[in-house]
Structure 1
Amino acid sequence: MTDSLTPFTVPTRTLRALASTEPSAEGTRLVRDIRRSKRLVLLRAVLDAAPGGRAGEAADHWALLEEAERKDPGAVRDVLHYPATGVWAEETLRRLHDPAGPAPDLGHLGALAAAAATRAGVAFATTLRPTHGRLVLPTLGLLRPPRPGPLILTEDSWDPDDPAALPLHTLPGGATALDDLDPYRAAGPAHPAAVRPARRLTPKGHKRWDTQWSGALTLLQRYDTLRAGETVQLLRSVVPLGGGARSNGATLPAAAGSLLARAQAPPALAATLVHEVQHGKLTALADVLTLHTADRTPCHWAPWRTDPRPLDGLLHGAYAHLALAGYWQRAALYGARGAWAQHARLRAQVAAVLPVLREHPRLTSAGREFTDAMDAAERAMDDLVPPGDQHATARRTVERERRAWCAAHPELAPFAQG
């Protein structure tokens, strides 16, 4: 396991492929490599900041991880790069640097080590402290010890058939987990209700998700085989959203490779997967490449929202909606009901904001190249136009919405024009 962030060079071909939103082998590989490198640097930062540094209890857990890696590197990578591990690591690092705040959960590093060693088949014995009578072993599941107090774990402690164990649910068709167990699957109990994870699901809830997930993947494979493959490769877990969710899905930058989603019919879930995977791709790219130097001032019109957006939010939204426009265009060719209307509306929305993005003075040269490639991808959709005047009608509708937004936000009207 390396200590330093790998220096990344993004070739023009790869940058333009990512900007188009179309899946590519080099784009997928770059996103995964960035995520892995960033995660290792973050974990090393936690180890260095922990009490005792590389000589304390955290170092013992890290030593077990390294021992497991020597025997089964793949198992250890999966545990360390599991999305919830990133949320824990970022939260722990924040707490380690804020002595006045809540105490960091360094014991979770022991749970990561125990899970990795168990999966690698390494003999070990370590003492961990369950929280509220539960101990989560990331990527495996949850243990409910019969007695309170510290728990001595060995390589034989995890048995998915034991009534005291709750295995992590795996969705059909791959290695994507439906995570309703890990305490770090989202950003914690203080996170806004809009993206708060649901409580543990019942077997009926798991079955419902299995059906919807299978249906969504079937649609993706039918309409857009490459996006189906990209989804499986880049999505390690799905976290069910709680009842207060106001949207179909959300992506947390700290949980790379995961998305929060509410239960929904397969056509809607397929679109949510396409949308949220793009946010994850753009977040990874922005970790190694500066696309703009704008601040977080919310001043831009985004046709898919009512509130003003900062430049970064506008870029993310346009990028995700560009992918959806392409997805619905392909779905329309297979006769999917309402797909042409969806495509026309989404394309018109993206086309309306691309001039604002491309002409923004705070774009870097890489950002200019990226938005130019987005523009080329949008214009390439002319090769397959909707029947009738659906495209023109959608553009007129979006233009009316722009004028109405400018009237409601006169002080921001200049930011809505390209």
Structure 2
Amino acid sequence: MTHHTRSADAEPRSRAVPAIPDPRAGDSPPDGVPLPEQALPEGAAPSPGQGLPWARVRAQGRPEDWARAVDRGQGRDQGRGQGVALEGGAEPGGGLVRFAVSSHTLRALASTEPSAEGTRLVRDVRRSKRLLLLRAVLDAAPGAEAAERWALLEEAERQDPEAVRDVLHYPATGVWAEETLRRLHASQGPPPDLAHLGALAVAAALRAGIGFKATLRPVGGRLALPTLGLLRPDRPGPLALTERSWDSCATLPLHALPGGRTALDDLDPYRAPPAAHPAPVRPARRLTPKGHKRWDTQWSGALTLLERYDSARADEIGRLLRTVVPLGGGTRSSGATLPAAAGSVLARAQAPPALAATLVHEVQHGKLAALADVLTLHTADRTPRLWAPWRSDPRPLEGLLHGAYAHLALAGYWQRAALYGARGAWAQHARVRAQVAAVLPVLRAQPQLTVTGREFVDGMAAAERTMDELPPPGDQHATARRALERERRAWCEAHPELAAFVQV
């Protein structure tokens, strides 16, 4: 069985682009900018796993198609599950294609276990969605300056496509693009930061090694260049830039974490939503060299544990995680994921075993967010009424699904760690698995699940049952279930009006 996204409406829609909802952190990522029923122009779709030819996408995208790509209607949940295609045929009369997700890929993703096809789907969805969003910004931006910046991006792309792709698909670029599109179509509020498009173009040109001239205005005495770091000019005012600027100016490079391409981003102004947006977590300020060294040590230790206990998940994290953003003080959360910043995780500095578990947990949120961009898993609203054992507050169906998915992966990770003799891992596995097992029947019973969503939850349940093959020693699992039942009763007493939603 193959799960296709829904066909496009035959009638053209308005070109107006409504405001995009605020991105927020937590285990219930909000709808970011959903993908459209139709998205990629015919001929612009790459082969699976390949990047998108930037100039071709710009040249072949028809304005009305790209307007439909970000048209969300009136409600937050309208349009969920619509997607684009990197495989499958063209739409009849539409000239555009759609994603096709096979049952095999859906089941592989539902299990949370890493797979080549699942990773490829997540990365391709993220890339397609980002290009749609950037094109929408370009179409909505007034004046000729944005087109000039875009032309510099295209010139850099012709010289070094990989470098430009990394800049455009950098996680913070997504936060900027969503915020900019929101401001472009808002009737009031702060103006859009279109100057940052120039910073993207300059960063791409510097990395591609092409000659160029551009003038940008630093903010607060610093000019952020995504994937590179900060330029710190010696005088205020507009800054004339050339291909030699990174070597001739004072710079503060982005900190590369050991052992791969993941960066510790404590510099980019869009590494998290602007301060004007309410969010349960905030990024830390720029770290000191001592702070960077501490992160290097903890990151290296976490990678060592991941590679020892679960090498497949270590590889998946390396492929899907581009940046880690340090969390600021005053937050109780160990980690968070922002849908707008696909490929990034906010995390607190913590001991390697805890950091490894945080990475496993948060990467799952990003995977599920990508899948939900192309498949409708449920039609529920955001009313919080369901019990989530890992939280004290009621959760909507979306939040419970995300939490159960991330904890299912965590249960599998702790089981593997326990088999390698990690101290306390069996107790962690028993506790987390009991939590997941308690909510899976509740998820399965929700009438708002679509057929695809039910198949996805069934795949999660099948993965949870396979853990019976390697149970914890003694009665640890039974002990964890009894403790969880006491917590459930206490929660129902504290929320008597919601007790009916806890039982299946």
Normalising to structure 2: TM-score of the pair? 0.81
**What is the match of residue 13 of structure 1?**
104
Aligned partner of 2:423: which letter? Answer: R
1:51 to 136, 142, 146: 142
Conserved in 2, the CA contact under 8 Å of 1:194 and 1:246?
Answer: no
Residue 139 (str. 1) matches residue 230 (str. 2)? no
The alpha-carbon distance between structure 1 residues 163 and 149, as it changes in their structure 2 partners (threshold 3 A), is closer
**Map 1:274-353 → 2, pairs under 5 A:** 274-353=360-439
Match of 1:157 in 2: 245
Query: Please, which of 381, 388, 399 is the counterpart of residue 485 of structure 2?
Result: 399
8 Å CA contact retained: 1:291, 1:368? yes
In the alignment, what sits opposite 1:36? 127
Q: Is the CA contact (8 Å cut-off) linking 2:361 and 2:410 kept in structure 1? A: yes
Determine the structure 2 residue equivalent to 1:111: 199
Candidates 157, 170, 174, aligned match of 2:256: 170
Higher relative contact order (CA 8 A, sep 6+): 2
1:50-70 deviation digits (Å, cap 9, x = unpaired)? 113xxx110110111111111
CA distance in 1: counterparts of 2:290 and 2:109, whole angstroms: 38
What secondary structure is seen at the aligned counterpart in 2 of 1:127? strand
Give the C-alpha shift of residue 194 in structure 1. Answer: 3.8
CA distance in 2, matches of 1:192, 1:98: 18
Shift of 1:192: 4.6
Aligned to 2:265: 179
CA deviations over 1:312-345 (Å, ceiling 9, x no partner):
0000000000000000000000000000000000
Note the C-alpha offset of 1:188.
1.6
Please give the alpha-carbon distance, in whole angstroms, between the structure 2 residues aligned to 1:403 and 1:32.
Answer: 41
2:474 corresponds in structure 1 to 388
Number of the residue aligned with 2:71: none
Q: Give a deviation string over 1:122-181, Cα, whole Å, max 9, x none.
A: 11101111111110110001001111111111111112xx67100000000001010000
CA offsets 1:80-117 (integer angstroms, 9 cap, x no match): 00000000000000000013110100000000000001
Q: Distance between the aligned counterparts of 2:304 and 2:461, measured in 1?
A: 30
In 2, Cα distance between the equivalents of 1:36 and 1:279? 17
Moved more, 94-103 or 329-338: 94-103
Conserved 8 A contact 2:361-2:409: yes
Q: Provide the secondary structure at the position in 1 that maps to 2:261.
A: coil
- Bigger shift: residues 393-402 or 232-241: 393-402
Look up the equivalent residue of 1:358 and give its one-letter code.
Answer: R
Helix, strand or coil for the counterpart of 1:195? Answer: coil
Give the whole-Å Cα distance in 1 for the aligned partners of 2:181 and 2:446.
35
1:61 paired with 2:152, answer: no
Partner of 2:342: 256
Q: Structure 1 residue runs of 4+, over 4 Å off?
A: none
1:81 aligns with 2:169: yes
Say which structure is richer in helix.
1
Question: 1:182 deviation in Å?
Answer: 0.2
Deviates more, 1:349-358 or 1:394-403: 394-403
Q: Is the 8 A contact 2:430 2:472 kept in 1?
A: yes
Aligned to 1:22: 113
Once the two structures are TM-superposed, the CA of residue 414 in structure 1 deviates from its matched residue by 1.2
Deviation at 1:296, TM superposition (A): 0.2
1:125 corresponding residue in structure 2 = 213
Q: Which runs of 5+ in 1 are unaligned?
A: none
**Equivalent residues of 1:193, 1:245 under 8 A apart:** no
Aligned residue-pair number: 413
Identity of aligned residues (%): 81
TM-score of the superposed pair, with normalisation by structure 1 = 0.97
SS in 2 for 1:158: helix
Query: How far apart in 2 are the matches of 1:136 and 1:66?
Result: 20
CA deviation string 1:260-288 (max 9, x = no partner): 01100000000000000000000010011
Please say if residues 302 and 314 of structure 1, whose CA atoms lie closer than 8 Å, have aligned partners that are also in contact.
yes
Structure 2: which amino acid aligns with 1:215? G
Contact 1:143/1:166, CA 8 A, preserved across alignment: yes
Name whichever of 182-191 and 171-180 sits farther off. Answer: 182-191
State the alpha-carbon separation in 1 of the partners of residues 202 and 339 from structure 2.
26
- Give me the CA root mean square deviation: 1.0
